[in-house]
Each structure stands twice: as C-alpha cells, then as structure tokens.
A and B are shown apart, each in its own frame.
Chain A
Amino acid sequence: MDMHEAQLLFINEAEELLDVMESCLLEVEAGDATIDAHIDAIFRAAHTIKGSAGLFGFDAIVAFTHSVESVLEQVRADKLEFTPALAELLLDCHRHMVQMIQSIADPELASDKNQGTKLLAALDVYLHPPKSDEPLTDTSQAPIPDDSGHWSIHIDYGREVFRDGMDPCSQLKFLQTLGQVDDVRVTADFSDGEFDPECCYLRLQMALISSADKQQIEEVFEFIQDSSKVTISAPKALVNKVQACAEDDARLGETLVNSGALTKRELEMALAEQRRALQENRQAEALGNMLIKQGAVDKSLVSAALSKQKNQEHKRPIDLQFLKVDARKLDNLIGLIGELVTAGAANELLIGQLAHEKLQESFAGMTLLVEQIRDAALGLRMVQIGESFGRLKRIVRDVSKELGKDINLEVLGAETELDKSMVEKLSDPLMHIVRNAIDHGIEPQDVRIYKGKPSQGQLCLNAYHEAGAVVIEITDDGAGLDPDRIRAKAIENGILDTDKQLSKEDIYKLIFEPGFSTASAITNLSGRGVGMDVVKRNIEELRGQISIASDINQGTRFRIRLPLTLAIIDGFEVTVGDAHLVIPVNMIQECLAFDAEALAVERDYLNLRGEVLPFVRVRDILKIPGQRLQREHVVVVQFGENRAGLVVETLLGELQAVIKPLNKMFRAIRGIGGSTVMGSGDIGFILDVPQLIEFTMHKESRQCAPASDKSEKEKHE
C-alpha cells in the first residue's frame, strides 16, 4: 500500500467517524438520546481522528481535534455539563473538522483558518473557565435519580370473572408470594345499571415491590387476561436493568423481554399489530411507540433500550461492522455474474433443444443457484437509505436555524435498502427538495400562528418498498403550491402559452422546467430557479419518476419512485414483430388473450372483469413496422396505484435480464429503459413501463385536446 492509498483510507475512516460524531451530537441535541449514551462514541471518533492524523503529520488536524477531545473528556468525566451551547459549538467544530479532512483530498477546499481560531478560543473557555466560586456544573439542576422500585398494577376486572370461578383474592395472595404488596386500592362501580351479585364490579390498583420480572407477574393474571384489562407498569429503576441487558445485536423487543420489562405475549401482540398494518397496506408504527400505546411499557424504558442499542452500534469496532471492498472489484463481480446469467440463458436454449430430461433437471438446479448468487451479489451493493437521510438531519437543523423557523423532522423507513450508486445520486435531489420545503414551503412561525397552524413546522421523510420499487416521500405541512401563481409565473417566463389549459398535476410539473422559480425573494438557499430541473433530470437518470401532490395551506408531498436495482432484473420476454421486449416481472399482474373484435368502440380500453383497463398497443407506440398478428395478448401491469394493459404479440416466458444502458443516441426513445442480450444472442429491449404509460397518456391527451391547443403543442415539439 503506497502513501496515497493509506491517505485515502484515513480520509474514508475519518469521514465515517465524523458521520458517527454528527449523528450522535444531533440525537443528543434533539433530546432523542442522553449524552451519557453517546459520549463514548463521540469521544472515540475525535480521539481516533487525532491519532490517525498524527501518523500522517497533519498537525493542524491534530491540534484542533486535541482541543475538541479535551472538552469531550471533561464531559465524559462529568466535570462539564453538556449544554445546548456546547452541543452547538461541537457541531460547528465537527463541520470544521469535515472541511479540514476534505482539504487533504482537495487542497482547493482549504478550511477557514479564522473560523478554526474562533472555535479554538470558544473551546478554551470550557477548558479554562474564568475563576469563580460558581462551578461549571450546576448540581442543583442535576436530575434526581428515580429509584422507585415498585411495579404498578391496575386491574379492571371483567364482569364474568366471578362466574368463571376466579377470585381476585387468590391473585392478591399469589402476588404476596412474589414480594410485598402495598397501597392496595379497590373500588367498586355499582352505577352501571342493575346490580347482579354474580358479576364483578371491582377495580384494583396496587404497588408490588418484587424482584420478579413482568412475565412472572403477568402469569398471576393468566386466567383473567381474556376477560379483564390488566396493566402492569415496570418500575422506573428497571431502566438500568434494560440498559444492562441490551446486548450487541439484540432488538428492542428482545431487550425489553430479557430485562423483564415486557412479556412475550405483549411483544407478540405488538408484532401482530405491525404485521396486520403491513398486510392492510397501512403505515406500521414503530414497535416502541406501539408498546407505549398498548400500555405495555413506559416511554423511559423504550428510550433506555433504544439508546443502549445505538450506543452499542457505535461501540462495535468499525472493522466488525463492515468489510471494506474496492468498489471496482464489486462492479467486476456483478459484471461477471451478468455474463454468467447471459451464458446460462444461451445454455438453457440449447438444453431445451436436446430434450434430455436429466440434463434439464440438473441445469434447472444450477439456474436456481445462479439466481441466488445474483441476488446475493446485488445485495452487496444495497445500503440503507438512512445514510442519506442522516445528512439531511443536519441540513434541516442548520437551515431552519438560519431562517429562524422551528421545524421538526420525522424520518420513517430509514432502514429501506437501495443500490449504493442510487443513494449517492439521490443525495443532491433530496437536499434540494428539503431546502426548498424549509425555505419556501414551511411558513415562518408568526405566519403559521396567524393561519391557525402549530408554530412548529413538520417535515417528514419516508421511504418504503412498493411493487419492486423504492418510494421516497418528502412531505411538509407548509403553504403548499399555488397552481395559479405557478401558471402565471410560467406564462411570464415564456414557459407556457396564455391560452393553454393544464391540469393541476401538469401545472405542478412546471416547477421542473429549467429557470422556473416563483420565490419572490432569492435567498442563498433557494429561489434561484436552479435545482428543480436538475432534481428531475437526476431522478430520471436513475430510471425513476417524481410526482407532486399539494394543497394550499395544507402542505406539499414530493414522491420519488425508483427501481430497486440498476443491474439485473427478473423479466418476462414478449415479442412484437421482430422486436424482443422484456417487461419487469414484479410489475406484471396477469396475461390475457386480446380480442380486438370484442371491443365496443375504437378506444384504447377494455373491460377487465367489470373494471376499466386502459391499454397501450406497443407496436403503435414504439412504431414497430409490420402487420398486426391475428392473435395478440394483453400483459396487465401495475405500478403504484396505476394499472394498464400492454398489447403484445407473443409471450415467451420469464428470463433474467442483465440491464445494459442504452447508448446516449437512443436515450430520447420514450418507454425503453435499457437493453439486454438474450440467450439466443438477440438484443432485447427492457420496457420502462411507467415512462411508457406516461408517454401514452400524454399522446392520448394531445389527441383529445382542442385543435388550437394541438397545433401549439406540435409547434413546441
């Protein structure tokens, strides 16, 4: 390894450590974690950067990081209180360290020395406080440790309890065997209609001082669980036990069960509810929130478990978390697997011709393995989108502070995986959209209050999988897009003709036109009309789509839909004329015979079991020469909420398609996402279904538009 490679390794490692440092500081600042949970990780990041920088002789980095490390050491030793002001200072120091590291790779990006001096002076105030009788740490403000060691039990007995042969007395007696039962409060509610002496009207509340875990306590009430409502709240003191129980790889539920704060039944109930939500296509709530809502655990216990979990993540040595592999080696491997898939398809064709059963069986087994290798290799490139979202947290914090706005950022689905190269290319578009949302979308606090909205604006980033694609939504509760204003601005900028009528959705799309901006004031963040066109272009380059939904004064939602991978897909081969076409399997719902004569009118939709299904004649839309065959098929495809039929001629079956990007010359062709080499050696074209449908819709709307509009459109084309 030469010095240059070693330096690159240092830069990579330092950037990763700075990411950890930033995310920890942001979490502590936002109150999502305690400084105790993260101080070790923050300190270790600074300490390691300082040590490694020393090896390479980067003295400026060593000197600066030394001061940061010294302050962190004071916090770690409880000699210095971690105040919001200190958090702010450390985040500024973090930014300066990032600049210093970046300037190693690119000397043009030299860090601001004045800023460095100012930060060092600010750090020095913490290291050498002015002599005073007042200690820096205000012990009177320190939280008093909560050592209440009792379980709190509430039982709302069901009416049938006595008739079922249960007596609350037996439960009280049993609880006494587990510990000391204190402060029993029994109430009886006789107000509910006519009194029935065989019905139970009792409610019980008590404290139990016991070393038993929740599972043992819950077992006491096992036989009344179905008829009564039993709530067992863990003692606050269990927080320490939860933290002690959190093992390296333990999940939240496991940690809480292992520490005795949660029972397996309660965990199962919450997980079942999560599964139900997913099956019903509802947004599944985070497990911690669900357990709190069910009354199974207290918020402090969930926070303790989560904070311990995150702490453990940072504590794990970096070389055990990841194995670094040269990206070129990975690309090479995926390229080879692509070739293997193509060669396999050619062999399959030959074996099919031989009609040798044993050979076919053996080959089918190998094909299955190749598919698994393909998926595993593609999985190597997948990273969690949270990496991108993490950077946005800092942007939201800094930008909202700069603009004096109070904005709460909610991140959902950070664990959703996407191809590494996509995550990298998504960074800039996401940043643009988020900056725009903060700058133009979410109103200043006084305006929000005037409009009757909460003063704190909400910004939500949500990522999830949907039918073989990843969807990323950026939603704000701001002013929304004003279609009239966009239209007026588009006319003013010469983007739109005065007499042209557009739907609301099409008006929103105008903001993606180059040079478009409705912002009345240009700030240094946004409003220059540069960006949204780049956003759209970047997303389209990833074979994705972006759409906008908005309501005035309610907010705006940007929805980005991206394919899962850029390399190899499961496809379905069809032909139209001489052209071999491949449709992504995950978009196909079914295939039907197409009966053109049965269509009542000469319009492109058919009746699919009582539902209207618009269809696209692929031969016409792609202008494939030749005569239509007598027998055609419809492939019903779905993407997002849209469904359509593609009329093709022959159905050839499934295949693995290695996507080869189209030459630049052909990229203007709408509806084709790439090409692939078929087993026979023919070239197949991979259909970009959403683009194809969108293109058809535009074509259709042009045909239906009034004559004057049509000629205008033609002029533009």
Chain B
Amino acid sequence: MAINLFNKADFTVVECDGELSIFNVREAFLQLSELAEQPPEKLILDLSSLLEFDSAGMQLCWWLKSRMPEHTEFVLSMADNDVVQKVFALYQLDADFQPLADNPQEPVNGHA
C-alpha cells in the first residue's frame, strides 16, 4: 500500500495505490491525520489505482471527508475502478457519500 501526497495545480492530491482495507487502514489513517489537522483548500482523493478496497477503507475515506471544513473542495475520484465502484454500489452511495436514492442522476463512479 502506498499513499502518495502531492500538490497538483492548486489541489492537494491523495493517491492511494494497491490496497485500502482493514489490514492497512491504521497506517493510512496516520498519514491522513495530518491532512485532517490542516485541511487544504482543495483536495482530491484518488482511489482509481486501488486493487483491494473494503468497508473499513470506505469508512476511512468518509471520515476524511467529514473532517474537511465546509469551504474545502473535496473530490473523490474512483474513475472506472471496478473494485471501488462495487463497494460504493453495494452501499448505494455516490462519491459525496450521499444515498443514490436521493440523487439518482449522480453516477456511482463519482468525479471521474
């Protein structure tokens, strides 16, 4: 697992590679805690390269979003990653962690 933090234009990008699951959420959490402490203005959480993703991983992403202040522009990107999309589809959540039933137009794959 690797979490890469870098800036691209005026966005802070969090790129998750390989696995984000119960087996490595603690490690990932430690890295993301800094961002939670000092939230950027614009944040992209990129899950498109993940190979393993489960509910614990999804919960960590949700927590990170919940820690972002109102003015932070938070974008979750899963592109066409099948593994991540399946988890969000099971929970019937969109990329903003809102129920799909409330916003049926929103695609599951979020901000691709």
Contact = CB atoms under 8 A, between A and B. Distances in A.
A184 interface: yes
A467 interface: no
Interface string A167-183: 11100110000000001
Given A172-B90, A188-B63, A197 B28 contact: yes
B11 interface: no
Contact of B55 (A183, A185, A202): A202
Interface string B29-43: 100000000000000
Contacts of B62: 188, 190
B64 to A, nearest CB: 10
B45 to A, nearest CB: 15
A197 B29 contact: yes
Contacts of A173: 90
B55 A197 contact: no
Given A167-B54, A169-B54, A190 B66 contact: yes
A197 B101 CA distance: 27
A195 B60 CA distance: 9
Question: Interface size bucket, B side?
Answer: 20 to 34
A184 B55 contact: no
Nearest to A161: B55
A231 to B, nearest CB: 19
Interface string B2-44: 0000000000000000000010011011000000000000000
A169 B26 contact: no
A64 interface: no
A556 to B, nearest CB: 56
Contacts of A184: 90-92, 99, 101
B61 to A, nearest CB: 10
B75 interface: no
B25 A169 contact: no
B57 to A, nearest CB: 9
A184 B99 CA distance: 7
Contacts of A188: 59, 62-63, 66
B93 interface: yes
B55 A169 contact: yes
A162 B91 contact: no
Given A169-B54, A173-B90, A188-B63, A198 B22 contact: yes
A200 B59 contact: yes
Interface residues of A, number: 21
A201 B29 CA distance: 15
A369 interface: no
A197 to B, nearest CB: 4
Contacts of B51: none
B51 to A, nearest CB: 16
Contacts of B25: 197-198
B87 interface: yes
Contacts of B29: 195, 197
Contacts of A190: 62-63, 66
B90 A197 contact: no
Nearest to A168: B55
A186 interface: yes
Nearest to A164: B22
A169 B90 CA distance: 7
B56 A186 contact: no
Given A162-B22, A183-B101, A197 B87 contact: no
Interface string A16-36: 000000000000000000000
Contacts of A185: 92, 99, 101
Contacts of A186: 91-93, 99
Given A184-B91, A197-B26, A162 B55 contact: yes
Contacts of A197: 25-26, 28-29, 56, 59-60, 63
B55 A167 contact: yes
Contacts of A172: 90-91
Interface in B66-104: 66, 87, 90-93, 99, 101
A599 to B, nearest CB: 74
A204 to B, nearest CB: 8
Interface in A183-228: 183-186, 188, 190, 195, 197-198, 200-202, 204
Contacts of B93: 186
A190 B26 CA distance: 16
Nearest to B28: A197
A564 B90 CA distance: 62
Contacts of A167: 22, 54-56
B90 A198 contact: no
Which of A167, A197, A200 has the most C-beta atoms of chain B within 10 angstroms of its own C-beta?
A: A197
A148 B5 CA distance: 49
A456 B95 CA distance: 55
Nearest to A206: B92
A186 B90 CA distance: 10
Contact of B59 (A165, A183, A202, A204): A202
Contacts of B59: 188, 197, 200-202
Contacts of A169: 54-55, 87, 90-91
A198 B26 contact: yes
Contacts of B101: 183-185
Contacts of B22: 162-163, 165, 167, 198
A195 B26 CA distance: 10
A183 B92 CA distance: 8
Contacts of A201: 59, 63
A197 B56 CA distance: 7
Given A197-B63, A202-B59, 13 more contacts: A167-B56, A169-B90, A169-B91, A172-B90, A172-B91, A186-B92, A186-B93, A188-B59, A188-B62, A188-B63, A197-B28, A197-B60, A198-B22
9 nearest A-B pairs in the assembled complex, by CB-CB distance: A197-B25, A184-B92, A197-B29, A172-B90, A162-B56, A186-B91, A162-B22, A167-B55, A168-B55
Interface of B: 22, 25-26, 28-29, 54-56, 59-60, 62-63, 66, 87, 90-93, 99, 101
30 contacts: A162-B22, A162-B55, A162-B56, A165-B22, A167-B54, A167-B55, A168-B55, A169-B90, A173-B90, A183-B101, A184-B90, A184-B91, A184-B99, A184-B101, A185-B99, A186-B91, A186-B92, A188-B63, A188-B66, A190-B62, A195-B29, A197-B25, A197-B29, A197-B56, A197-B60, A198-B22, A198-B25, A200-B55, A201-B63, A202-B55
